[in-house]
Amino acid sequence: MPLHDGLGIILFPNFPLSHPMKNTFLLALSLCGLTTISQAQTPAKPIPPATPQYRPAYHFSPAKMWMNDPNGMVYYNGTYHLFFQHYPDGMEWGPMHWGHATSKDLVSWQEQPIALYPDKLGWIFSGSAVIDEDNTAGFGKNAMVAIFTHHNDPEEKKKTNKHQYQSLAYSLDEGKTWKKYDGNPVLPNPGIQDFRDPKVSWNEVAKKWVMTLATKDRITFYSSANLKDWTKLSEFGEKLGAHGGVWECPDLFPLTLNGKTYWVLLVSINPGGPNGGSATQYFVGQFDGKTFTPTTTTQKWVDWGKDDYAGITWGNTGARKIFLGWMSNWEYANQVPTSPWRNAMTVPRDLALKQVGPEIYLTSTPVKEMAKLVQPSQTLSNLTVKSELSLADKIPNLAPQFQLKMSTKQLQDFALVLGNAKGEELVIGYDKQANQYYVDRSKAGQMTFSDKFAGRHPAPRLATGPAADLTLLFDATSVEVFADGGLTTMTELFFPTQSYTTLKLKSSSGLTIDALTYTKLSQEVK
């Protein structure tokens, strides 16, 4: 992307606006009379007052500025790499870069220098990364290769429908430094308005790289022997699944159930989610190296909450499939009241398959590595809830980060209510008549930043037995609900004006909880 300050755009047309040396560069130009120091120091918009109380502890968030989709997630030499859509010059969506963070354990994250900057071909939109063990691309053995979408903003304004195309970059030092391929783009746009978000993996059946690409209202599969030359294989989904918005951020991976291999296809849509705005649907089926065939056409969602979008899985992890989503919703992502950063990721989740009746569902559970955050637990056994039961005397001081586990042999109506002295309440519960779990944040705190934020958001209970279990993860401004072994999952944000301090249970029909375990989760907040 050109530098739009004084004559810099003429002298250095490919100098990135967000390069770390931008201000030094502009200062030098100012000394030559070619621009002004004030231009170099003027931010896109004033940064709101800091909100350290809203900073998550064990969810990744950037130190500052804007973040959205996870990108390029790959595991190599004991390190999990997370790249992400990032605008380092503002707190709202802008010219996209690839930010970068790393972790040894999926719990503690270290933000790294920006990996990919915009260039003359465009902004750096979403994509994936692979480890090229056999040097198929010729960049070097075990090169880390990023496959991403270049988004050409001036071309988009021409309305040619050729403004998005797929490109490569590679790293020979495990993601520390990157070089873009001189032959970019490797997959030009055939004239499709939305042509983006390549997720690439090695397919053992085809003995080739397979790209799962978002192409407006469907997914298109491509293959390549060398990551550079791509052949179209097939399309999927034009008349299947939810189509409230453009199909984007796809992923395709195998999982085994009862000794049989199935393929799972993730597709994010915005709008069109079950509770409004953005959400991620999935299909379970078979992939023969060329064509994806679903086993059923039942509508299924990875997460029924408002705030889990654009999630994909880490590459190079073998049979284990670990998912991570962007913890926000496009209905209000640009307005959430955090500063000096905006948005975070979900916790990493292990994915598996489970059959319920004729249907095969995807289950999500927090990764086992979360156990390292666990502090001494407090378990309350055989709790009888008749109308209302306060837990204030048993759990007097709620931590900003904690886990709650509940189990019952006979699930009935209930509501778990977190509250504070201002009367703000976050409610997580189950409606037996509707057979739905729900999160109600109608009175949970700040919500004037968007008329789409408040509300009671339901999710169907997919398990069929009377016994139920729930795991709830809280971290400053988020709750992640994993019900019935992860068959029903919900992720929701909330922004109380002061910390929640009280916890109570309500049940109109009466409920016996066999065990309720409260566990503080401890990790130093950035």
Annotated catalytic sites, by residue? Answer: 69
- Cβ(462)–Cβ(358) below 8 Å: no
Closest CA to 301 of 471, 71, 491: 491
Q: Tokens 């190296």, residue?
A: 289
CA–CA dist 83, 168 (Å, integer): 15
Phi, psi of 516 (to 5 degrees): -130, 115
Give the C-alpha separation, 409 to 64, whole Å. Answer: 45
Q: Nearest 5 degrees, angle CA 414-CA 418-CA 421?
A: 135
With contact defined as beta carbons under 8 Å apart, do 58 and 371 qualify? Answer: no
Structure tokens at 352: 């598996």
User: Measured between alpha carbons, how far is residue 435 from residues 269, 292, 302, 409, 414 in Å?
Assistant: 25, 32, 18, 16, 12
Sorted by sequence, the CB contacts under 8 Å of residue 358 that are 6+ apart come out as 296
Q: Give phi and psi for 524, each to the nearest 5.
A: -60, 130
Radius of gyration of the chain (CA): 24
Name the helix (H) or strand (E) containing 154. Answer: helix 153-157
C-alpha distances in Å from residue 36, one per residue of 41, 44, 278, 343: 9, 16, 42, 33
Neighbours of 201 (CB within 10 A): 18
Q: Which residues of 301-337 are buried (b: 16+ CB within 10 A; e: fewer)?
A: bbbbbbbbbbbbbbbbeeeebbbbbbbbbbbbbbebb
Structure tokens at 90: 């503002």
3-state secondary structure of 31: helix
- Cite the beta strand spans of 288-371 per DSSP E: 292-294, 309-313, 322-326, 341-342, 349-356, 359-366
- The Cα–Cα gap between 106 and 126 comes to 21
Structure tokens at 134: 């056999």
**CA 147/CA 154 separation, integer angstroms:** 22
Neighbours of 159 (CB within 10 A): 9
Helix extents (H) in 236-302:
none
Interacting residues of 31 by C-beta distance below 8 A, sequence separation 6+: none
3-state SS class at 12? coil
